Amino acid sequence: MTISTWLRVIRIKFLFASVISVFVGLSVQWWLYHDINVFHAGLTFAGVLALHASVDLLNDYWDFKRGIDSSTKRTKMSGGTGVLPEGLLKPSHVYGAGIIFLVSGSLIGAYFVLTSGITIAVLLGFAILSIYFYSGKIVDSGLGEIFVAIKGAMIVLGTYFIQSNEISLSIVLAGIVIGALSSLVLFITSFPDHDADKSKGRKTLVILLGKKKAVNIFWIFPVVAYTAITLGVFLNFFPMISLISLGTIPIAIKSGISLKENFDKIDELIPAMSKALIFSRVTGALFAVSFFLGLMY
């Protein structure tokens, strides 16, 4: 049992999605009010990362218990972490760690309920219930991609609300951007897991539509993100420089084309998944940074 094994099962590289989500909420706050409560920002990062780690740990546990991880071909982008099938950790330890992270994140959230009120209580309640039931009822109902989109948006909204105690149209649009980017990664990485997921009763957009038809759904995610950014700039909700986020269009196109050509070939699909991850992270990072740049230009 090593630190590297735990970082592997937590899927450390995927935690950056939550880092970017919090960063976007803080950057919009800074752009609008030129002020950030650093203590609350730090607690927000800690709470959100704890809850995200909880999702990944519990998902790995339940996928192992259901035999999904044993039926998939693991790649660096899909098929689970492989930690439990390889016997590197005990299932009870992974489950226990997931609950510890869930409780830790919830306690931090409880603090913000006391300081920020009912809005945070609603967001926290949704987060706790959806995290615990994600790997079962949510995914089995075909709501995984929707959950991830809502989760990303709510992190942005919650971060901003903790700082400003308000919800604005600016932050709602920003949440839509991040939600779409986050959901895209889950969507494309579900292609290689199609057969194993389907055999164990899971439902994803890829399973519901079939691989061939689902390929065309790929374009919806970047279009929603780019449309929200462009609309935000047009309505003066975002600074003009937020349009730098559209610089990732070539990455999105390459990923989409690669997916169309290789949607049924696991090894050949890895570049498409990697490009989708890069597209999501770089677009989100550029979007966040643009609010700080917007004060300079």
d(Cα 238, Cα 28) in Å, to the nearest integer? 8
Neighbours of 33 (CB within 10 A): 10
Phi (first) and psi of residue 210, to 5 degrees: 90, 145
Mean pLDDT over the full length of the chain: 88
**pTM for this one?**
0.91
Q: Is residue 161 in a domain?
A: yes
Neighbours of 39 (CB within 10 A): 8
Q: Is residue 194 in a domain?
A: yes
Q: Is residue 3 in a domain?
A: no
Counting as low any pLDDT under 70, the low residues of the chain are 1, 69-71, 78-80, 134-137, 139-140, 297
Phi (first) and psi of residue 38, to 5 degrees: -65, -40
Pull the structure tokens for residue 49.
């990362």
Q: How many domains does the chain contain in total?
A: 1
Q: What is the pLDDT of residue 69?
A: 66
Q: Is residue 2 in a domain?
A: no
Q: Is residue 136 in a domain?
A: yes
Q: Is residue 7 in a domain?
A: no
Q: Is residue 250 in a domain?
A: yes
Domain that holds residue 256: 14-294
- Tens of pLDDT, residue by residue over 94-146, are 999 999 999 999 999 999 999 988 888 888 888 777 777 766 667 667 777 88
Q: What is the pLDDT of residue 131?
A: 73
Q: Is residue 142 in a domain?
A: yes
